[in-house]
Structure formats: C-alpha cells, structure tokens
C-alpha cells in the first residue's frame, strides 16, 4: 500500500501491484529480495513490485482477498523493510511526476 485516504467515511487504498511477470523495462519494477518474500509468505518464484502501475481499491471491498495466516484470515501479507518501501515510493513518485504511471480503479 502506497497511500490511504478517507473519503466520505470510506477508506480508499492506493496499491502497487506485485507480479511474477518480469518487467519489459528493468527500471519499471523492483525485484523482491528472497528474504522479504519469505517474510511475506510468498513462494520462491521471482516476483517484482511494479512502479509504473497503481491500483485504487475501496477498503473493505471485493478486490482484496484474505490469505490464511495460521488460524487467521487477513488481507495483509506484512510489512516490507523501510529501505525497500522508500525506494519503491520514490520510484512511483518520480514516474508519477513524469506522467508515466497508470492508475487502475479496481473498486471505488
């Protein structure tokens, strides 16, 4: 999640997508380090955080599905290390300023 806002009593989230598809242009994504993937409970397959795309969601909403965490069901995979978040955030902002970010409204 990159940003959260309250609008008319509704929570809106702005989220960067995570994908297993390698980016066409290497600078369009950050590969998630193995240790971070393990911490988040992701499998060993390579995956990337895309910095050229953002998804907007209503929270709670139909587009966010919970995952199993022991006996709990949660939509949150966990936190990424601050340096990784800072790099992703800075890359998204730089691309947004250059109008090179696509925003998709999933549930709004």
Instruction: Check residue 93 and give its pLDDT.
Output: 94
What pLDDT is recorded for position 90?
95
pLDDT at residue 50, rounded to an integer: 96
State the pLDDT at residue 23: 96
Distance CA(41)–CA(45), nearest Å, equals 12
What DSSP string describes 38-107? HHHT--SS--EEESSEEEEEEES-TT---EEETTEEES---PPPHHHHHHHHHHHHHHHHTT--EEEES-
Residues of the chain with pLDDT under 70: 108
Report domain extents, the chain.
Answer: 3-105
User: Which CATH number is correct for 3-105, 2.50.20, 1.10.3470, 1.10.286, 2.30.30?
Assistant: 2.30.30
Residue 71 pLDDT:
81
């Amino acid at each position: 999640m990159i940003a959260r806002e309250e609008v008319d009593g509704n929570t809106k989230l702005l989220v960067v997508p995570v994908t297993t598809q390698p980016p066409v242009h290497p600078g369009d994504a950050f590969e998630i380090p193995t240790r971070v993937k393990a911490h988040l409970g992701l499998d060993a397959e390579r995956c990337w955080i895309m910095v050229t795309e953002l998804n907007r969601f209503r929270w709670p909403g139909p587009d966010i599905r919970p995952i199993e965490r022991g006996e709990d069901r949660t939509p949150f995979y966990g936190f990424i290390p601050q340096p990784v978040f800072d790099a992703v955030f800075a890359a998204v902002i730089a691309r947004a300023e250059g109008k090179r970010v696509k925003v998709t409204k999933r549930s709004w």
